Structure 1
Amino acid sequence: MAQPDYNARHLSVLEGLEAVRKRPGMYIGSTDSRGLMHCLWEVIDNSVDEALGGHGDAIEVVLHADKSVEVRDTARGIPVDIEPKTGLSGVEVVFTKLHAGGKFGGGSYAASGGLHGVGASVVNALSERLDVEVDRNGKTYAMSFHRGEPGLFDDKGGAPSPNAPFTPFVSNSELRIVGKAARGKTGTRIRYWADRQIFSPDAAFSTDDLIARARQTAFLVPGLAIGIRDERGAEPVDHRFHFEGGIAEFTDFLAPDAGVTDTWRLQGTGTFVETVPVLQENGHMVPTEVERECGVDVALRWGTGYDSTFRSFVNIISTPKGGTHQAGFEAAVLKVLRTQVEANARRLKVGTDKLEKDDALAGMTAVLTVRLPEPQFEGQTKEVLGTPAVRSIVTNVVSKALTEKFTSTKREDKTQSAQLLDKVVSEMKARISARAHKETQRRKNALESSSLPAKLVDCRSNDVTSSELFIVEGDSALGTAKLARDSEYQALLPIRGKILNVQKASVADMLSNTECASIIQVIGAGSGRTFDLESARYGKVILMSDADVDGAHIRTLLLTLFFRYMRPLIDEGRVFAAVPPLHRVVVMNHGSKPNETIYTYSEAELHGLLAGLEKQNKKYQDPIQRYKGLGEMDADQLASTTMDRRYRTLRRVRVSDAAMAENVFELLMGNDVAPRKEFIIDGSRDLDRDRIDA
């Protein structure tokens, strides 16, 4: 049956925008750079949904120098006819009404990334200015909005600006016709300026995140060309992505090691029935049973390494925290491998031991995509899929397709299946051996042991949740930190200079390194796959290094150690970086009033402070003290700026921070020389000589 036309009759209007500006975090997660990027994803995903439906094959994203962003596509264009319930044009409904769009009722999209219909309207509500142009019916239509309100900007013939005089529509809104479109040409162009009343001053679009997302989307939608243009620098930078191989090519791109198997493609579909509320003509929501179809597509391979790389998607929207589809996939892989190991138990010499999930997933790189209408996500940020029926469908599809691979009579499939079983069984045996060794070697309680490093300055409290371990750079800083700490719950571990680069070192080298071994021993939870988060002796681990290039180097080395061997600490948000000040400014007050001490944490903050003091005609002691290291502070200064919970600032280390540190080390200190040489040559033209420590 032919799909019905996509026009304003499919737009189901449910409510307005009043709550969005009051509680933006409810819709976009946060108002920092992540929230700003989330708004951009909402706009891009609408264009991608069109491409998924076979409409449009190109998307362009432009980061303009004036801090606006523009998204262009070649899809069908937003409907411009009048939506009958509201009497408004389709364009205005999409951008001003929450829960309005073609994704309700299943009339226009079989599967889409957008679910709640709030994307475009939320972006509009949180934008100081938004301009939309639609090519449709041989004409170009245009409309502008100011913080969600439609009207007209008077740009006086110049470049569009959010500061231009704005006149809102009073009685009737106008969808202007601003030109002619070529015959058969359709598409949408959206340009908006994020509202700085909503977003934090330092919120900015991340080119790296945008490039990664564009590359990922191009893999997931074969044939779709995505262009990124960044005009914010001195010279525009362009990136283009276009792939025909789909998720199989994506899996090969993600794989970090040589393959034990080829990339296997597992595909299938399943149906399920769910009860959903459907909006009737009279405005009532009536529970209705509908049959859904769920398509499953998996590309996976096992490599010679031990780390697993997994990406899951629902209607090409990434679900980094998993959900029912990931649970179903992991259950199927474990079930099939267990069955195959039991069938080959004699050859593999496994006895009664059973595979666990970590054994099966070790060295696996996989991309899982499911497509279904109106998936149930946990929140608008769509990080976890909640539709219960998807689990069993994914399990059935993956189990059937994977079993066919293992029972295939092709020589190549038989060879790879045998190699894979050997690998997972060796993983299982290594795990069992490591657990036995760990149980015999582990102390009853690390606190009772006298073998902890002598240089550890421990705290008195046994309460893990309140205790903190400061990893301090150098003995000079240790001396000051001893006087500055609260000995009840703050412990100190000094390290000498730069620890081992664990990116290149083997596990044996890492464990034999004094500094690395001391850190692992003091934390008391083991390392690698045997790391036990519940055994960690401290609630927080805080990296306290000097605010200079060497300090940043040491912090990056430590992050690489934690990321590779104690990652659960980072996953749980228990690793932090201390933020020591760079400058100490003493403001001199008149009379008997004591002088005021102000600390600044960057050159820009210092210059802003000094400019403000000059405006107030306040004097300050010159020269200004510039801290070269933690050891230059006295105990009171270190306590009040860096260690005292009442005043200090800590920067929580996220997995992305640690992953970035590992990637930088792989580039700058790994075994492969060619990328490092290319990086140095490319970066030489941007080198600022003043930033080099002389």
Structure 2
Amino acid sequence: MTESGNPSQPANVNEYTGIHIQVLEDREAIRRRPGMYIGSIGERGLHQLVYQVVSYAVDEHLAGHADVIDVTITADGGIRVADNGRGLPVPAEEPTGKSAVELELTELSFGSRPRSRYGVCGGLSGLGLSVVNALSSRLTVEVHRDGHRWTQEYEKGTPVTALTRHEETDEHGTTIAFLPDADIFETTRYSFATLSERLQELAFLNQGLAISLTDERPVHYHHADGLRAYVTHLNPYPPSLVHSPAIGFESENEDETIFVQVAMQWNTRSPGELRSFANSTRTHEGGAHEQGFRTALTDLVNDYARRQGQLSADDEDITAEAIHESLTAVVSVKLTHPVFEGSTKTRLSNPEANAYIQKVVRQHLTHWLDHNPNEAAAIIRHILNASTGHRKQ
């Protein structure tokens, strides 16, 4: 793969010589332009790494040498894929002198391999395990073949140990464990549901193949930052955020009968989402607390925009739709005497919740906007752009 020199300086045709050509090794090329090989550095590309390794194991099944594939999300967030196929070849290959395992894990291969007539497309156009290796902070391969167990370790696509022969064994198969590189991917958290759906598809499509999926990640929930952490969880892509961190505030009335918590953050990626809760129960149909939040936010944003000169006296008010577009917010109220509509408790009816949350939002959000003028200006600009888009529709 080649890449031109400094893109900021246009090349003079008469001066364009071999010195201007930068030749990238496979590993460096993959790490510099990961999207060219896996299509995305988001969740889709992250899961493609798993599919590529699994595709090798499925090929072994199609060739008649494997009937079990075990996929594990390890406790550290990595992936381990084990099959009972023949095992990757271990003898050294001429003229490189490298083992076939190392060649498979370090060199791009655009051609087909003699595995089966119906090779599985792992989403990487058959480019090989080297892509997975190059985009992993570490990778370990374990092969049971030729009467022994063999292992080799890699870091960011580069071998850090030689292929090592261990104890004798009559087992056969390959296990590849890797940890995606957090410096490359937007997220390194695998979705059990996403992997489960694809692996079940492969089991349907390949009769007789047994595939398992195990999640070893410990489950422990503790969020000292409360609802702000919740909003951060719902907005996982930092480049899309209009402001950071999320806005958060809470308040309790004098009678100690209503306690309100709010967190909110605008972004450019999602259409917006408001999640509301009453006494820790999700109110899917909203109700008084949601209505109070929406009313106060709409009034406050218009007042603030006019006060700051971002909206003139002759301009129409910004609509609630534009203000709530791409806003992720969580509203939680706890009441001594909550009143719900219906037995499923999906809509809150307490009128005092509406009034009190309006008071809290106006007081605390105004304070935040006044004390964070740069972030506040960015939010208003974002909302005004959304408002313009709505008027054009």
Could you state the TM-score of these two structures normalised by the residue count of structure 2? 0.56
List per-residue Cα deviations over 1:39-63 (Å, max 9, x = no partner).
Answer: 2222122212222333311111122
How big is the shift at 1:484? 4.0
How big is the shift at 1:110? 1.5
Equivalences for residues 37-52 of structure 1 within 5 A: 37-52=47-62
Equivalences for residues 286-297 of structure 1 within 5 A: none
Alpha carbons 1:547, 1:629 under 8 Å: kept: no
SS in 1 for 2:195: helix
Q: Distance in 1 between matches of 2:145 and 2:132?
A: 23
Alpha carbons 2:301, 2:380 under 8 Å: kept: no
Partner residue in 2 for 1:194: 180
SS in 2 for 1:143: strand
Partner residue in 2 for 1:5: none
Q: Distance in 2 between matches of 1:54 and 1:125?
A: 29
> 1:116 is matched with which residue: 122, 125, 128?
125
Equivalences for residues 220-299 of structure 1 within 5 A: 220-233=205-218
Equivalences for residues 622-633 of structure 1 within 5 A: 629=361, 632-633=364-365
> 1:542 is matched with which residue: 314, 325, 346?
325
| Equivalent pairs, count | 257
Equivalences for residues 155-554 of structure 1 within 5 A: 174-182=162-170, 185-200=171-186, 202-233=187-218, 474-485=294-305, 491-493=318-320, 542=325, 544=327, 546-549=329-332
Alpha carbons 1:640, 1:647 under 8 Å: kept: no
Q: Distance in 1 between matches of 2:316 and 2:379?
A: 11
Partner residue in 2 for 1:35: 45
> 2:366 is matched with which residue: 631, 634, 644?
634
How big is the shift at 1:188? 0.3
List per-residue Cα deviations over 1:213-262 (Å, max 9, x = no partner).
Answer: 22222122222111111111259xxxxxxxxxxxxxxxxxxxxxxxxxxx
How big is the shift at 1:631? 7.1
Q: Distance in 1 between matches of 2:189 and 2:273?
A: 31
- Which structure ranks higher in relative contact order (CA pairs < 8 Å, sequence separation ≥ 6)? 2
SS in 2 for 1:55: coil
SS in 2 for 1:548: strand
2:320 maps to a residue whose letter is L
How big is the shift at 1:187? 0.7
Deviates further, 540-549 or 37-46: 540-549
1:122 maps to a residue whose letter is V
Partner residue in 2 for 1:357: none
Q: Distance in 2 between matches of 1:196 and 1:221?
A: 33
How big is the shift at 1:207? 1.5
Alpha carbons 2:272, 2:328 under 8 Å: kept: no
1:548 maps to a residue whose letter is V
1:492 maps to a residue whose letter is T
Cα distance 1:77–1:644, how it changes in 2: closer, same or farther (>3 A)? Answer: same
Q: Distance in 1 between matches of 2:48 and 2:38?
A: 6
Partner residue in 2 for 1:20: 30
How big is the shift at 1:97? 0.3
> 2:147 is matched with which residue: 138, 163, 166?
138
Alpha carbons 1:65, 1:232 under 8 Å: kept: yes
How big is the shift at 1:72? 0.4
Q: Distance in 1 between matches of 2:115 and 2:184?
A: 33
Alpha carbons 1:131, 1:191 under 8 Å: kept: yes
Cα distance 1:110–1:484, how it changes in 2: closer, same or farther (>3 A)? Answer: farther
**Which ranges in structure 1 are unaligned for 5 or more consecutive residues?**
1-14, 153-173, 236-467, 495-537, 551-626, 651-694
Q: Distance in 1 between matches of 2:167 and 2:41?
A: 37
Cα distance 1:477–1:110, how it changes in 2: closer, same or farther (>3 A)? Answer: same
How big is the shift at 1:197? 2.9
Identity %: 32
2:369 maps to a residue whose letter is Q
How big is the shift at 1:109? 2.8
Q: Distance in 2 between matches of 1:20 and 1:93?
A: 16
List per-residue Cα deviations over 1:590-648 (Å, max 9, x = no partner).
Answer: xxxxxxxxxxxxxxxxxxxxxxxxxxxxxxxxxxxxx9647742298297177334699
SS in 2 for 1:118: coil
List per-residue Cα deviations over 1:549-595 (Å, max 9, x = no partner).
Answer: 47xxxxxxxxxxxxxxxxxxxxxxxxxxxxxxxxxxxxxxxxxxxxx
Q: Are residues 1:149 and 2:135 paired?
A: no
Q: Distance in 1 between matches of 2:380 and 2:128?
A: 42
**Which ranges in structure 2 are unaligned for 5 or more consecutive residues?**
1-24, 221-270, 275-290, 334-358, 387-393
Cα distance 1:64–1:546, how it changes in 2: closer, same or farther (>3 A)? Answer: closer
Alpha carbons 1:483, 1:635 under 8 Å: kept: no
Cα distance 1:180–1:647, how it changes in 2: closer, same or farther (>3 A)? Answer: farther
Deviates further, 66-75 or 23-32: 23-32
SS in 1 for 2:152: strand
Equivalences for residues 87-126 of structure 1 within 5 A: 87-99=97-109, 104-105=111-112, 107-112=114-119, 113-114=121-122, 116-126=125-135
Q: Distance in 1 between matches of 2:193 and 2:361?
A: 32
Cα distance 1:630–1:231, how it changes in 2: closer, same or farther (>3 A)? Answer: farther
Could you state the TM-score of these two structures normalised by the residue count of structure 1? 0.33
Q: Distance in 1 between matches of 2:88 and 2:365?
A: 61
SS in 2 for 1:644: helix
Deviates further, 133-142 or 540-549: 540-549
